[in-house]
Structure 1
Amino acid sequence: MAEAQRTPTVIADGVHITYTVHGGHPGGRGGATAALGRMLNRRPAPAGRKVHAVRGVSFVAHRGEAIGLIGSNGSGKSTLLKAIAGLQPVDRGAIHTQGQPSLLGVNAALMDDLTGERNVILGGLAMGMSRTEIRERYDGIVDFSGINEKDDAISRPMRTYSSGMGARLRFSIAAARSHDVLLIDEALSTGDARFRRRSQRRIDELRAEAGTVFLVSHSNSTITETCERALWLEAGTLRMDGPAKEVVAAYEEFTARPGTEKANK
């Protein structure tokens, strides 16, 4: 194995993550209706439900790797990414990172009422780029996103964008600079095949620039085309860690079993 691949960038050591879910169940007397009732009657809010989202997960990621995270809905993939990015506290165990991880960089910073152009500037600043760097990379970011191919969408407010257009612009901003660790949650499931190919090439470039890429996607083909390694999380536990094609094949066999879909709801 090459030296670059043997340099650890992320170490997860027996990580446990829990969080609390507040509110009632959909369809019942819960959510906003229940909250309003408590306010009018001055009743205290009920205790939240504890969710043990990640259970004792351990792995080591190396510089130059692209690692896919797969698993059923609610298996802990996005929670684990947030923990690696430092946005979600760990209850037990530890996560060690080299450099600064970026969770697709700019989701929280972009504002729906601002134009795409203003959001490119805002997102670039949020990722630590100078205004000069943003000006130099602006045309490339817009061209990469492809949102201007049919009309001048970059000059319209982002609230007028489809979810796919917004995701493509976010990825384009985040991919405009190199990252020690780039964490991508579902961004590549949007857009046409041409955009996905551009995204995969950019991920390869980021890896070549000595970064590490984590990718969460419900598209197994995206995982096998983009990543050489995959982690399979199920009910918060790490079921398998290995070559992407082998892990995806095992996961697909698991999901094809009778009763699996019902059990995972």
Structure 2
Amino acid sequence: MADPAEPVPTVVVDGVHITYKVNGARTGRGSATSALSRIVSRRATPGVREVHAVKGVSFAAYKGEAIGLIGSNGSGKSTLLKAIAGLLPTAKGTVFTHGQPSLLGVNAALMSDLTGERNVVLGGLAMGMTRRQIRERYDDIVDFSGINDKGDFISLPMRTYSSGMGARLRFSIAAAKSHDVLLIDEALSTGDARFRRRSRQRIEELRKEAGTVFLVSHSNSTITETCDRAIWLEAGVLRMDGPAKEVVAAYEEFTGGRR
């Protein structure tokens, strides 16, 4: 029988490998003839290569944790988040999750030609809120984002927003409800100090509501200020998993201060 005081895992990543194919430039002449020749000979398509983005990563995350994912560009951080969210298949290994993970990224699928107001509704519905809940929380979402601080931007199409404004609105929509697992990809690297402070406070509230938060950021200070644990990926391999300050210090020593 399990100890009731034992931490409850929300995400278990067990020996996960993730690969995907990248298309390069087409080479050679006579593409139709070449294609037929490849079919007959069963040769691989030229210009296509397989990327092994995540290599045998294993860890468990628990209720109430805020975990930062750090590493150099192309280290597999965002790819791993997508696998946890169920958006990418694993080539090997398994991802177990408790509840439905919600992935928030700066490229979250909101509609650029629609107003911010309409996108709040669509984003809220995508996050699992009812229309009534969206109406009740609408003013708080807009106020939290701060996009109306310098004008009535919420009534303008999102294509008129800066990347920072769009990222703040996406985070505000996601933060309007509780999540079993919230995955945040670079959404807190934009905005002023006031917004970052509010974001950290909201993440702390989500953790107290028994949620688990994963945060990808190239800002080491954001990781140490927001997270109590960090996972360092490098070239798809888990290099270190431990207290955020210790992992960030080891990563900074490895990079010599470079990001």
Give the TM-score normalised by the residue count of structure 1.
0.88
Structure 2 unaligned spans of 5+: 36-44
Distance 1:191 1:18 in 2: 33
**C-alpha distance after superposition, 1:179-237 (max 9, x if no partner):** 00000000000001110000000000000000000000000000000000000000000
Q: Which moved more, 1:43-52 or 1:143-152?
A: 43-52
Counterpart in 2 of 1:174?
174
Letter matched to residue 222 of structure 1: T
**C-alpha distance after superposition, 1:52-73 (max 9, x if no partner):** 0000000000000000000000
Counterpart in 2 of 1:17?
18
2:74 partner SS? coil
Counterpart in 2 of 1:27?
none
Asked if 1:112 corresponds to 2:112, the answer is yes
Counterpart in 1 of 2:121?
121
Letter matched to residue 150 of structure 2: K
Counterpart in 1 of 2:90?
90
Letter matched to residue 77 of structure 1: K
Letter matched to residue 220 of structure 1: N
Change (3 A) 1:193 1:4: farther
Distance 2:240 2:220 in 1: 15
Structure 1 unaligned spans of 5+: 25-29
The Cα shift of 1:127 comes to: 1.1
Distance 1:177 1:169 in 2: 14
Distance 1:115 1:17 in 2: 36
Distance 2:85 2:58 in 1: 16
The Cα shift of 1:104 comes to: 1.3
Distance 1:5 1:68 in 2: 23
Asked if 1:8 corresponds to 2:48, the answer is no
The Cα shift of 1:105 comes to: 7.7
Distance 2:197 2:131 in 1: 29
Letter matched to residue 115 of structure 1: T
The Cα shift of 1:23 comes to: 2.4
Distance 1:148 1:5 in 2: 45
The Cα shift of 1:48 comes to: 1.4
Counterpart in 1 of 2:99?
99
Give the TM-score normalised by the residue count of structure 2.
0.90
**C-alpha distance after superposition, 1:126-162 (max 9, x if no partner):** 1111110000000000000000000000000000000
**C-alpha distance after superposition, 1:7-43 (max 9, x if no partner):** 100000000000001123xxxxx6xxx7xx98x9545
Counterpart in 2 of 1:133?
133
Change (3 A) 1:51 1:106: closer
Alignment RMSD, CA only? 2.2
Distance 2:108 2:188 in 1: 18
Letter matched to residue 81 of structure 2: L
Number of positions where the alignment pairs a residue of Structure 1 with one of Structure 2: 247
Q: Percent identical across equivalent pairs?
A: 78
Counterpart in 1 of 2:183?
183
Distance 1:19 1:181 in 2: 25
Distance 2:55 2:113 in 1: 39
**C-alpha distance after superposition, 1:40-97 (max 9, x if no partner):** 9545463511000000000000000000000000000000000000000001010100
